[in-house]
Structure 1
Amino acid sequence: MPDSEPHPHGLRERKKVQTRLAIRRAAFELFDTQGYANTTVDQIADAADVSPRTLYRYFGVKEALLISDDQISPIVEAFADAPPDLPIVDAYRHAVATVFRELTPEEREDAAAGQRLMYGIPEARGLLYSEYIRLIEMITDALTSRPDAPADHLERRVIAGAIVGVLIAAAHDTPMPDTALERSLTILSKRMAR
């Protein structure tokens, strides 16, 4: 999946974001009216007024329509670049707040709609698990740029797993859980500081 910035500035980047949103919006409407399993890629492409090839270029597989990478990569990048004096979990909380704050209402609703569908579609559960594992790997790698992160790979992976565990607990069946996620990460940070 291609990464995109929360607020891309170039015309080409804005068009890519708009195309992704249009494809997802068309897919969500079809999933809602005729069910996920009964909706084909061709139907989604037709409803979004793009070719199936374009749809595959943006999403790869039908299941990927439910995942919005538009926040994941920017959050991990903001985490790696967070002020070095912030403890690890506080740096992640800072990154989430920074990226969420920059989302447009349309981007926020798109992400929430995808998350609602993902929690409600049994076929998507495996994809959700895979995305959490991918996020653990991304955070583990990003930790190498944090001055207070352990040098040991396993220790970094355990910390990343704890952060993702908090995300799972805060987000399960609750799309875009800003307040719950903020509070949950604060609890983890306090507990890790002991």
Structure 2
Amino acid sequence: MPDQHSTLRARRRAETQRTVQAHAVRLFTERGFDATTVADVADAAGVSPMTVYRHFPTKEDLVLADANVGLVADGIAATPANLPLTHRIGSALVDSAAQLSSGDVHDPGSNRRFLLARLQLMIATPALRARHLDNHYALQQSIVGALTGESPDPDTVFRAQAAAGACLAAMHTALVRWAEDDGRTDLPDLIAQALAAAFGDDAIGSPTRG
């Protein structure tokens, strides 16, 4: 059936992306971002350079591409619309961090170790720090869209943009601290602490994660 074929293709595509990105992050960590070529990544992953570029249009995307945009937008959509904007955004950021940082930081195959390696590369590599701004903007726009819908008025958009920008700044502070601590602390808790420092102790209300 066409739907089954589409699902299978999507699954294979996602598996290829994960494999390529895992090899890329490993090589960048071992050899350095600038010293590692896309051809090196392709060879390690057992695919062609064209396949790498099909999934990751730029070398920087091999580190920066993640599922955070979709996770946060879905999390916001699941929150009651009558809650304060920072509460809705903050809760979604904490919950998405819990999913992306699961597992043992000492396990090379865990989500936690993978996210930590990517963050440390981003902090240490000027080209990645510059491109991170693009990702930051894309996440902010996704948050605004989840909060305001398809036809919002300009004032509503402005308030959502301000709230999203402030929450993302707090999250970024927590991410840097977590990377500097080599992942020894709990990332969702760090983000919650950063949000509380910015907006007060009840910034995200009661924890929503298990």
**Which interval holds the TM-score relative to the shorter structure?**
0.7 to 0.9
Q: 1:43 aligns to what?
A: 40
Equivalent pair of 2:68/2:96 in contact (CA under 8 Å):
yes
Instruction: Write out aligned runs for 1:159-170 (5 A).
Output: 159-170=163-174
Q: TM-score, normalised by structure 1?
A: 0.78
Please state whether the residue corresponding to 1:62 is helix, strand or coil. coil
Q: Deviations over 1:85-119 (max 9, x none)?
A: 43222212322343344445333322222111111
What is the root-mean-square deviation in Å for CA atoms of aligned residues? 2.7
Equivalent pair of 1:78/1:95 in contact (CA under 8 Å):
yes
Q: 2:192 aligns to what?
A: 182
Which letter does structure 1 place at the counterpart of 2:17? R
Q: Deviations over 1:113-159 (max 9, x none)?
A: 211111111221111122222222222222204xxx98433232222
Q: Deviations over 1:14-68 (max 9, x none)?
A: 4333322221221122223322112111110110111212211211110011113
Structure 1 runs not aligned, ≥5 long = 1-9
Q: TM-score, normalised by structure 2?
A: 0.73
Please state whether the residue corresponding to 1:27 is helix, strand or coil. helix
Matched, 1:94 2:98: no
Aligned residues: 181
Residue 72 to residue 83, structure 1, CA distance change in 2 (3 Å): same
Moved more, 169-178 or 50-59: 169-178
Q: 1:79 aligns to what?
A: 76
Residue 62 to residue 141, structure 1, CA distance change in 2 (3 Å): same
What is the alpha-carbon distance in structure 1 between the residues aligned to residue 65 and residue 173 of structure 2? 19
Equivalent pair of 1:45/1:52 in contact (CA under 8 Å):
yes
Moved more, 83-92 or 57-66: 83-92
Equivalent pair of 1:90/1:185 in contact (CA under 8 Å):
no
What is the alpha-carbon distance in structure 2 between the residues aligned to residue 168 and residue 153 of structure 1? 22
Please state whether the residue corresponding to 2:60 is helix, strand or coil. helix
Equivalent pair of 1:136/1:160 in contact (CA under 8 Å):
yes
Which of residues 116, 138, 142 is equivalent to 2:142?
138
Q: 2:4 aligns to what?
A: none
